[in-house]
Structure formats: structure tokens, C-alpha cells
Amino acid sequence: MSGSSFLALGCVGAISSAFPAYAQATPAQADTPSTNLGGVTVTDTAITEGSYKTDKLDSPKYTAPLIDTPRSITVIGSQVIKDTASATLAEALRTVPGITMGAGEGGNPLGDRPFIRGFDSQNSTYLDGVRDIGAQTRETFDVDSIEVVKGSDSVTNGSGNAGGSINLVSKLPTSERFIEAEGTYGSADYKRGTIDINQPINEFVGVRLNAMYHDQNVAGRDAIFQKRWGVAPSVKIGLTGPTSLTVSYYHLHTNELPDAGTPYTYTLANAPAGVTETAPVSHYTTLGGQEIDVPRGAFYGLKDRDFRHTNVNDFTIRAQHEFDNGFMIRNTSRYSHTEQDYIVSQPDDQQGDVYGNATGTAANAGGYVWRRANTRYGYSEGLINQTDLTGKFDTGSVKHSIAGGLEYSHLQSAFGTFVSNAQTGTALSSGATLTPRCTAAAIAAYYCTPVGNPNPNDPWVSTTSDLGSTAAAIQKSLPITQTLSHSTTYAASLFDTITLTDWLLVNLGGRYDHYSTSVSAGLAATSTAARTWGTKKNNIWTYQAGVVLKPKDNGSIYFSTSKAAVPPGSFLGQGAEDNGLTPGRGQTTVDIDALKVQKTTSYEVGTKWNLLDNNLNLSLALFQTKTVNARTTDANGLALYVGTRRIRGVELSYNGNITDKWNVFGGYTYMPSKILDSGQTVTGGISAPSAGIGRAFPNTPKNSFTTFTNYKITPKLTLGGGAIYMSKVYGGYSDTRAVQNGAVVITKTRATYVPSYWRFDANASYQLTDMVKLQINALNVGNKRYFDKAYAAHYANQAAGRTVLGTISVRY
């Protein structure tokens, strides 16, 4: 171990001595009795009602309690989800520092796009331990908890997971009989209803039904609405074991007008010489001297054209048996099918129409923005089978806690676009063929709209061509134009937590994946050629290894390393893949045989402590995550695999109960990042380093902080609140270049970003009776205007304004 690692260990180890009153010896974790906190029972095996603390993950692949697991893990429990009024996965993830949400575009389908430690985790989301690849906006009505694992995590769940993974744990039948119904009304005509019915039929069979209806506008934003409904029935045979069979189904339907976002002020076309950092527009002066105030609610889309529909269907069967010797085997099979169709107007300023441009063919005085039509229709589908075997045994004085697994999966996807003529493949008439974009004729056709006064009710008409006079219905492109992808995986894994002595544990894990993926790019609508397929196969080994020191039974100090592998084509068109089987932007061709697996290695040193009679968890970690083999381009526009990215940081987290009346949840992450090598950009036949080299990762805040707390003022009245801080987040980088005297000279460099912000929430609840509870949440109570998603080039997403919600809950 390096000297820096020993220094870090010394620093984190000092925390244990800083809490002499709390770090008293307690029984070993496995033998810790339950603790009663004013009627709330806290155990070491689950999240319990009223508690913000979790001690063990749902997945059997984690072979030790969290305090003895050598990596950073945050669990968002059901109580945190309720107290923060989090209706979606994105809303729940805002409580965890170090996570940002990325914006979608045509190539990055709309839906959840969380970035963990700077890495896109759209392909690293799981439902009950099974990969959930379909692009969608995930709900929480059927979610019991959300497990966030940080650091390279392919060894646990397979391909991807460079920065970490997210696992949603479903609500399934239990032996407790209850019905809980909630109704919420709030700002911007927010309406939501959920019901959770858990009914044991007898001691052997139980059923559970969760259902939801949601309908809202968005506070502080014009025109936007979100509607959805979902249902999730399940039945379990063998409620008390040792053998059980659980069958569950999940359906979610959404209908919404998607937010078009807010454009950045400058493009390369109009940025001044030198380095320019540009944020979303609010107040500015155009090139023509016009003063423009951008209204907070400005919506640049078209109500009669834009839409987003999704349908999600998951069917799961899980069989489990617990042996008398403490071993357990379970098999999980799932079929999933997700459909998504949308047209969204992206406020695209690539030719400088927002500020204005005095040079070139796009000369104008500014004040307008192009409504670029990003469209997609398609589906993703998966069939997955996993078998897990867990148990404990001793070899002499050495104790083992093991988990072995076998996995098979077949995933496939298909997507096309919406067009004005399916037979010819003509794109929607939105001005994409016009240069410049925002001419008088384009404005008259509503392809562009004023930045300071957009009208979502503009009477745009679909025509057979840009500025055409013949109306044409919006159609789905022909099947021949769809991009098709599929992948097959066979995997085996083995994990072991080895207890050498009471104070020394070793955590080991390894996984082998045989991964095969194929893609067929869409052809022109008029093409008579046969489809071609590109196929890539990889044999991938990943690992994790950690050493855990136990100075006290209620604390640990650890060092760990783990590896992630992203094989080519693994996103299947469901995320921002930089390692696909087809050429990316600026690339002329890709040699599939030369494609390399993108590899990320994480190192982490930290400490974890269960304080205050095992009711509060405090953890501190120092980490480094480094990626190699990231795809770049050479002087001929061909793919190279030399890209290198690195993130180093420190993370502090806390969750649990300070007293029987006081809960806390949150943390702080310091995460400076650096792109060490992102390849070359070619100008006049001469290559030079690309714009991003040496700069911070996109979607990676240097500082992020969250804290949420609840305090029981009286046995019936609880008050609470939360705070979120996010430092500046970059979206992307670009530059202009010229060749002078045989060398490349960079004249302009542009970095897009969203500014830092503080956001504050407040909540209160009152227990009217044993069955009835009232709750009020004020989200973004200060009505802060801030941006929570940064896209690379064109726009950023503006967050909702102050939203006040009132909820009545009935449970019996």
C-alpha cells in the first residue's frame, strides 16, 4: 500500500477516537439485538418504519452488513422517500450527494439519466437486482428502497457500472396485514393518489397490490404537464418459508408534454475570442442591441406537436429455498418490455440565433431560437434469468460468507424517428435543412420563436418539406430505417467475505461475462439493400477486493479496489454510448474488430461507524476512479481507444437516528475531475488535442451537499426540512481552430455549464389519529430559479419552482 493510502487510513481512523463516548464496544453485527426507538424497532437486517438507517442490502451478492462492506453505499429508504415527497427516481436521487441527472437529446433518449461520480449510469439501473435497461422515468409508488453503490461495480451486476449502480427494491407481500392509501394535492394543480394493500390470505399465501395515479403541471414552467398511472400486483406462496415462490407484475403508462429546456447564450458562431463559459440565458443584450429578459416559465416547444408516451411492462417470477444449514438458493426470471415515443422541441442555438451573428451565412441581430425537433419511437425488451446461492461456513477458525451466481440475459432494442413522409424518409418540417435557421420565412413557419416571448400555442403545420405548402401527417419512419440492437450474456460470479479474526476481514469477488452484441444501423427509407449486422464478442473478467479492519465491533476501516468493464455496444441505443459499434460524431468508420472494452478501476479507503447504540451510521471515504480505453478519434476521423478520464474525491455521509425523535440523512462529496486524454480534433488535415483535455468531466460537480432531517416535536407533530447545494456543472466543450504556418491555432473555446445553486425544502406532518396522518411539503421553498440538467451543446433543463403539497394518509 502506498504512503498516501497509509496517510488516508490514519486520517479516517482518527474519527473513531474522536467519538469516545459513542464508539463503545457493542455485540457483533450479526448478533446485535433490535433497538426500540419510541415505538420504532431498528434491526440490522432491514429498513424499518421511521428510521433513516439501513444495515444490509437486499441483494444476496453483498455478503456482509454495510458496516463491513468496503465501499461507499447509500440506501434511500421508504421513510426518506415519503418524508421528501419523492414521486420519481430522479426526485429521490436528489437526496444523495455526488449524483447529477443528465439531459436527453435525440441520441440520448429521454428518461432517467443519472450520473454517478461523473459516469452515465443510464445502463446501470436495476430492479430487484435485475438489469432494467429501458429508457423511462421511473416511479416510486412500488419502491421500498433505492440502493446506490458508488465506484466501479461490474463485478456485482455485469457490464457497465463504471461509476456505480442503482438498484430499486420492490414492495412485495409480507406477513403483515395493512392497507395504506395516500392522496396529494398541491401547486400547479398537482394531483396524486397511491394505494398499497398487503393481504395475507393465510399463513402460507400473501398478496399485495400497489397502484398510482398522477397528474400535474410544473410550478414555474409554462405549458408542461405530466400524467401517468401504474399498477403492481404480486403474490407470494410460502410467506414464512423455507420455500417460497413470488410472482409479480409491474405496469407504468406515462403521457406528458416534455420540457424543451432553456438555450445557452453563446455558440461558437458568436462567442468572443478566447475562452468563454456560457450558462443558460436569463437576461442579456443581443448583438442588435435588444435587451431581453427570459421569463421563468418560457417554454420553447409546441403544444400541438410535442409529446412523450411510455409504456413499461415487467413480469417477474422468483423461487427461493432456505436450507437447514443456513444456505439459500433463489432463481429470478424476468421478462420486460418498454416502449417510448416522443417529439420534443430542443431550443438549438448552433448557428448563433440567440445572441446574434455578424459573420458568415447566419448573419442576424439575435433574439430567436430554433425549435429543433428531436424525435424517437421504439422499444427495448429483455429476458433475464439469475440464480444465486448464498451461505456461511467455517474452514477451521476462518469464517466464510459466500454468494455465487449464474446469469443469462438476452436484451434487444429497436428505434426509429417521426417523419413527414414515411415512404421517402423526409424529416419533420422544422427547418433542419435551412441555413441560416431563423430567417423571416422560418420564423413565419414557427420553426423559430422569440427567446424572450415564446408561444407554445403557435400554429405550426407539418408539411412535406421545409417551408413547403403541402400539409403532411406526422408518421413513424419505416421499419427499414430503424436501428436494431441485441445482446446476449452468460455470466458467473463468486463473492466471499472472509473473517480471519474478529478484527480482520477480507472481501473478495470475481465475475466472468461472455458478452455478445450486434447492431444493424437503419437504412434509407428508399433503400433496396439488405440489412447488415456488426457483431462483437468479448470475454470479460472483473473483480473486487477489500481489506476491513475492525478496531471496534461497531466500526470499520477499509481499503478496496474494483474494476468495471463497458463492452462495445452495451447501451443498445438506450443512453449516451461513447463505445458503440457504429461511428460517432466526427468519425468516418469503425473497425469492429479493433473495438476495445472500456475499463474503469476504482480505489477507495474509508471508515464506517455505527454510533448512538447502532442507530446512526457515519462514513468517510477517499476515492479515485480512472477510465482507460475510452474512444477517441485520430487525424483521419477513425476511432482510437486511448481516452483517459480520472476522478478523485472524498465523501462524507450520515444516516439514521440521533435520538428517538430526530432523524438525519445526507452527506457531502468533494469531487475534482480531469479529462486526461480525449483524443484529437482534425483541422486542415492537422490534428491537435480536443477541446476537453485537461478540463473537468461534464455532469460532475466539484462540490455537492445534501441534508434532510425530521424532528418529532410532540408524539403527533413532526417538523423537518432539507438543503441541497450543487456547485457549477459543465455540460460540454467545443472550440474553433485554424491552421496558421503549419500549426493548429485555437481561436475560440466554449464551455457550457449550469450555475451553482442552493435549494431548500420544508415539511411537517401531524398524526390526527392512529389511522390518519396529514403531511405538508414545500419543495424549493425559496422559489429558486436554477438548472438541474446540463446538455453538452444546446440547452439546459430548468427545475421546478416552489411546489407546496398537502397529503393525507390513511393506514389500517
Over the chain (812 residues), the average pLDDT of each successive run of 10 is: 38 36 36 36 41 88 94 94 96 93 71 85 87 89 95 82 88 96 98 98 96 97 96 96 96 95 86 86 89 94 96 97 94 96 91 79 79 94 96 96 96 94 93 90 95 96 94 95 94 97 96 94 93 92 96 96 87 72 67 81 96 95 87 58 82 95 96 80 72 84 96 96 96 82 83 94 97 98 94 88 97 94
CATH classification number, 3-423+446-811, choose in 3.40.50.300, 3.90.1010.10, 3.30.465.10, 2.40.170.20: 2.40.170.20
Rounded distance, CA 799 to CA 754, Å?
11
HSE-up of residue 303 (Cα within 13 Å, Cβ side): 12
Rounded distance, CA 73 to CA 98, Å?
12
pLDDT, residue 153, reads: 85
Beta pairing class for 164-170 and 125-127: parallel
Rounded distance, CA 812 to CA 255, Å?
32
Establish whether the linkage from the previous residue to 568 is cis, with ω within 30° of 0. no
Give 418's contacts (C-beta < 8 A, 6+ positions apart).
Answer: 341, 343, 373, 375, 376, 377, 428, 474, 475, 476, 477
Give 671's contacts (C-beta < 8 A, 6+ positions apart).
Answer: 98, 117, 118, 647, 648, 649, 651, 700, 701, 702, 703, 704
Which residue, among 16, 7, 60, has the nearest Cα to 556 in the 3D structure? 16
Residue for grid cell 441560416: 436
SS3 240: coil
pLDDT, residue 749, reads: 86
Query: What's the length of the chain?
Result: 812
Rounded distance, CA 278 to CA 261, Å?
15
pTM: 0.90
* DSSP notation for 48-77: -TT-----S-SSTT--S-GGGSSS-EEEEE
Alpha carbon of 420 to those of 193, 376, 416, 438, 441: distances in Å?
39, 13, 13, 21, 19
pLDDT, residue 10, reads: 40
Where exactly are the structural domains of the chain? 3-423+446-811
- 270 and 357 Cβ atoms separated by less than 8 Å: yes
Rounded distance, CA 353 to CA 363, Å?
9
Task: Give the amino acid at 733.
Answer: Y
Residue 699: count of CB within 10 angstroms of its CB: 28
Rounded distance, CA 617 to CA 44, Å?
12
Establish whether the linkage from the previous residue to 698 is cis, with ω within 30° of 0. no
Rounded distance, CA 548 to CA 559, Å?
7
Q: Residue 589 carries which DSSP code?
A: B
Residue 390 falls in which region: left (phi positive, over 0), alpha (psi -120 to 50) or beta: beta
* Strand blocks (E) in 660-802: 662-670, 673-677, 680-683, 686-689, 703-712, 717-726, 729-740, 743-754, 757-767, 772-779, 787-790, 795-798
Task: Give the amino acid at 335.
Answer: Y
Rounded distance, CA 84 to CA 77, Å?
11
